[in-house]
Amino acid sequence: MTEKTTHFGNQTVPESEKPGLVHELFERAAPTYDLMNDAMSFGIHRSWKDTMMNWLVPQNGQRLLDVAGGTGDIALRFLKRAPNARATILDLTQSMLDEGRKRADATEMAGQLDWVCGDAQALPFEDKTFDAYTISFGIRNVTRIDEALAEAFRVLKTGGRIMVLEFSRIPNPGLRWIYDQYSFNIIPPFGKIIANDRDSYQYLVESIRKFPPQEDFAKMMCTAGFENVQFRNLSLGIAALHLGWKL
């Protein structure tokens, strides 16, 4: 029986190989991951994440699961707005979690944080455990997005929300062409200069183009069982926020 294939950037690979390739990529990227985020987006990613929190409206007493949470950017923002909440950061790559633990704000909030190495497609948590599920710039790296969304639905409590922040598709063709020129000609060289890793950032810009457009991803969320699904474009559609409810 022929194994199913998937994309890894512009490469076609067996599905069984993609998690290992993603893991290896983020192992390399971990030490300079936050620095590269600032360099690639000129710091705009911080505004996107703040907008994410404005829409999510964290509340004290809630439990957050931040999947592909890496160095804790989203979880720490959540806890700063809800100091009596609790956050679990899950990531496929232990070195990303290790980098997150080094942050001063993570040390200050250590009693409210859990760091778990795990897979978005097979979450190691009981049903109906969390009030909110977030994933920021991570779902496009998942081998089977539908399985990750099904797992998100499973671990959310009734009334819980999922919020996905992901690079997306600029609707305007002219602006999309300009952004493509920047992405393919500037970001990989940035990766080489700052992180000595061109290949990882070449993958990044390729993977963005493989991710479904906003409307298609919203339909995938609905198929997974989420209701009242909405999305908002950020920075003309360079990124988008998707929100859904488990009702």
* pTM of the predicted structure, to 2 decimals: 0.92
Strand order in the sheet with 63-67: 113-117, 86-91, 63-67, 130-136, 156-167, 239-245, 227-234
Calculated CA dihedral for residues 123, 62, 35, 204, nearest 10 degrees: 40
Q: How far is CA 48 from CA 33, 54, 144, in A?
A: 17, 10, 25
Domain count along the chain: 1
Which domain, by its residues, includes 133?
Answer: 5-245
Distance, in Å, from the CA atom of 113 to the CA atom of 111, rounded to the nearest integer, reads 6
Predicted confidence at residue 187, as pLDDT, reads 85
Q: What is the pLDDT of residue 43?
A: 81
Residues lower than pLDDT 50 in the chain: none
CA angle 115, 200, 96 (to 5 degrees): 10
Q: What is the CA radius of gyration of the chain?
A: 17
Quote the pLDDT of residue 54: 96
Give the chain's length: 247
CB atoms < 10 A from the CB of 53, how many? 17
Task: Report the CATH number at residue 65.
Answer: 3.40.50.150
Q: What is the pLDDT of residue 204?
A: 83
- pLDDT for res 231: 97
Q: What is the predicted pLDDT for the residue at 1? A: 60
Of all helices (H) and strands (E), which one includes residue 209? helix 198-210
Closest CA to 208 of 231, 179, 174, 178: 179
Q: Which two tokens stand for residue 144?
A: 């089977």
Instruction: Measure Cα distances from 83 to 18, 97, 112, 126, 138 in Å.
Output: 37, 21, 9, 24, 25
